[in-house]
Amino acid sequence: MDEAIHLILQSASAFPPPPGIKFAYGTAGFRSNASLLSSTVFRAGIVAALRSLKSGSVIGLMITASHNPASDNGVKVADPGGGMLTQDWEPFAEALANAVNPEDFVQTIKEFMRNEGISFKEACSGEVLVARDTRPSGESLLGAAMRGIRAVKGVVAVDMGILTTPQLHWMVRNRNRSTPATEFDYYTQLSSSFRTLMSLSLKVLESEPYTGDVVVDGANGVGAEKLSLLLSFLEGLEMQIKNSGKEGEGGLNERVGADFVQKEKVIPCGFGVGDVGKRCASFDGDADRLVYFYISSLEKQSIDLIDGDKILTLFAIFINQQLNCLQEKCHSFKLGIVQTAYANGASTNYLRYLGLEVVFTLTGVKYLHEKAAEYDIGIYFEANGHGTILFSEKFLAWLSALNEELGSFSTGLEQLKAVQRLLAVSKLINQATGDALSGCLLVEAILHYMGFSIQTWNKLYQDLPSRQIKVKVADKTSIVTTDAETRVLRPLGLQEAIDSEVAKHSQGRAFVRPSGTEDAVRVYAEALTQEAADSLAQAIAEHVHQFAGLVSAT
């Protein structure tokens, strides 16, 4: 044991932690300016390696800062099921990232290994797959990650190259299920299940033949290249890809991509007169978020946004229709919808009006995913476009059996088609995590099936006007929240100030919380008109500034 720990310590000396910085394993792992991250990524490599030894499974390590600026980077661990690192391990990951001297560092590892009953093993007992997005800092951070993993005796580090975040999560999940798990397998599975789903479409009269005429904003990130690879498996399907990150197309996430489009609600760079009237989709920098939009006014640069809530609604309607078709066969299976406080109030009302069960969790995919996994079919989405559909093993086994049973009678039966549609969705959608590529194909297939234009889809319900603002304060941790982050406990008096602003607006709703991925406090406000939502958000941002000390507000 001591010799193996000594080897870790020796490797660690090449990655000293930056002085005076405290790292937190936030909503989506560690994030920071890339120049500060090499020690954190090295140490996250150690965490991933120990996780692999403990679980006896393949683990993932993704180097990305998603929608953040190109100068940032980050790192997160994917657990054996392909989801986020179990929350029980986050305190260890944080303690290790923040251990300043060699004694602390060694002690933190030893103590944790003892408590968890982990021991070093012989060669190839553990395996960690490492991937990164297209950020320039990714390459050197990859080196730090590989060194961290390899420092742990018995664990192999495999460089998977540049991937989208969901591709790595998908590979980890599949490796641990012993199902095909390469990048090639990913494109094969998505393309073949998409084709199956399209072939099971109703021939609705109004439905026009599917031409794939969608314009995709790749956020100048990894998603654009991977989408074009996916399309090469779908002959005949044309999607126009913009903001692919090629020379001259602009910077990663710079006035482009899902986060920009969803928060600013304006036309992203690279889109203009030629795109008016078209169905447009935006990915974020690591392609785990997806939103749709269409240009509503070139003059005002405005768009009509179809956010994660509306994608969720489209998925929910489709799944529910298939389940209704199978109603006489299945009474006991439960469909659940999971949202966060950022979900537009109109979406929740609409989903409940459809008779669906909607529940709420804290912000962050790790919470939504965990909740959705409690259902036979769990659909979760954040308003920002991150979400997916989870199917329980029990439900999938039942579907497969029903597929065989019904298949032996007739092939044209509507019930059989419903079963096959659900099975195809379970293969098309990435059940490890939200995935812009697979989500986009599923949206396209469902729009085609329903015969919906993007405008019809948008009109399912009307969003309540909302506004989000980021306030930079001296110390975001001075804001402490409760009630699923919808109420402020500290600083004292801030919640009362928010309540009195909300009371000035009919149908007003607002909350503030420290971001888990950025050094900022987020303000969210909803009201009956856009002007009211804007002014409510602004008024609350000023209170945050007064109570917590302003650096700037954007």
Beta-carbon contacts of residue 9 (< 8 Å; ≥ 6 apart): 102, 105, 106
- 66 noted as active-site residue: yes
The Cα 449–Cα 93 span in angstroms is: 45
Applying the rule CB under 6 A, the residues between 370 and 399 that interact with ligand NG1 are 382, 384, 386
Tokens 């015969």, residue? 451
The Cα 246–Cα 289 span in angstroms is: 20
Beta-carbon contacts of residue 60 (< 8 Å; ≥ 6 apart): 48, 77, 78, 82, 128, 129, 130, 131, 168, 169, 171, 172
- As measured in angstroms, the least distance from the Cβ of 223 to Zn ion is 9
Q: Could you please report the per-residue DSSP string of 428-484?
A: HS-SSS--HHHHHHHHHHHHHHHT--HHHHHTTSPPPPEEEEEEEES-GGG-EEETT
CB nearer to Zn ion: pick between 287 and 379: 287
164 touches ligand NG1 (CB under 6 A): no
- 281 phi and psi, to 5 degrees? -130, 145
66 touches Zn ion (CB under 5 A): yes
Applying the rule CB under 6 A, the residues between 21 and 50 that interact with ligand NG1 are 27-28
286 binds, among ligand NG1, Zn ion, none (CB under 5 to 8 A by kind): Zn ion
Query: Are the beta carbons of 380 and 337 closer than 8 angstroms?
Result: yes
- As measured in angstroms, the least distance from the Cβ of 90 to Zn ion is 19
Query: Are the beta carbons of 280 and 292 closer than 8 angstroms?
Result: yes
> For ligand NG1, which residue of 366, 427, 476, 522 counts as binding (CB under 6 A)?
522
342 binds, among Zn ion, ligand NG1, none (CB under 5 to 8 A by kind): ligand NG1
> For ligand NG1, which residue of 283, 342, 398, 511 counts as binding (CB under 6 A)?
342
**How many helices (H) and strands (E) would you count in the chain?**
18, 20
- As measured in angstroms, the least distance from the Cβ of 289 to Zn ion is 5
Q: Which of 52, 66, 137, 191 is catalytic?
A: 66
- Contacting range for Zn ion; rule: CB under 5 A; set: 5-13, 61-69, 171-179, 444-452: 61-69
**Helix-helix angle 102-116:38-55, to 10 degrees:** 20
Under DSSP, is residue 502 helix (H, G, I), strand (E, B) or coil? Answer: helix
Q: Count residues near ligand NG1 (CB under 6 A).
A: 15
- As measured in angstroms, the least distance from the Cβ of 283 to Zn ion is 9
183 binds, among Zn ion, ligand NG1, none (CB under 5 to 8 A by kind): none
Query: Are the beta carbons of 380 and 342 closer than 8 angstroms?
Result: no
Cis omega before residue 491 (within 30°)? yes
> For Zn ion, which residue of 127, 183, 275, 284 counts as binding (CB under 5 A)?
284
Strand partners, 280: 215, 293
**Exposed/middle/buried for residue 188 (C-beta within 10 Å: 0-12, 13-18, 19+):** middle
- Contacting range for Zn ion; rule: CB under 5 A; set: 62-70, 302-310, 368-376, 456-464: 62-70
Contacts with Zn ion, 225-264, as mask; x by CB under 5 A: ----------------------------------------
Under DSSP, is residue 284 helix (H, G, I), strand (E, B) or coil? Answer: coil
140 touches ligand NG1 (CB under 6 A): no
- As measured in angstroms, the least distance from the Cβ of 9 to Zn ion is 34
40 binds, among Zn ion, ligand NG1, none (CB under 5 to 8 A by kind): none
- Contacting range for ligand NG1; rule: CB under 6 A; set: 192-200, 362-370, 413-421, 528-536: 362-370
Question: Which positions touch Zn ion (CB under 5 A)?
Answer: 66, 284, 286, 288
- Residue numbers at the binding site for ligand NG1 (CB under 6 A): 27-28, 66, 342, 363-365, 382, 384, 386, 515-518, 522
Active site residues: 66
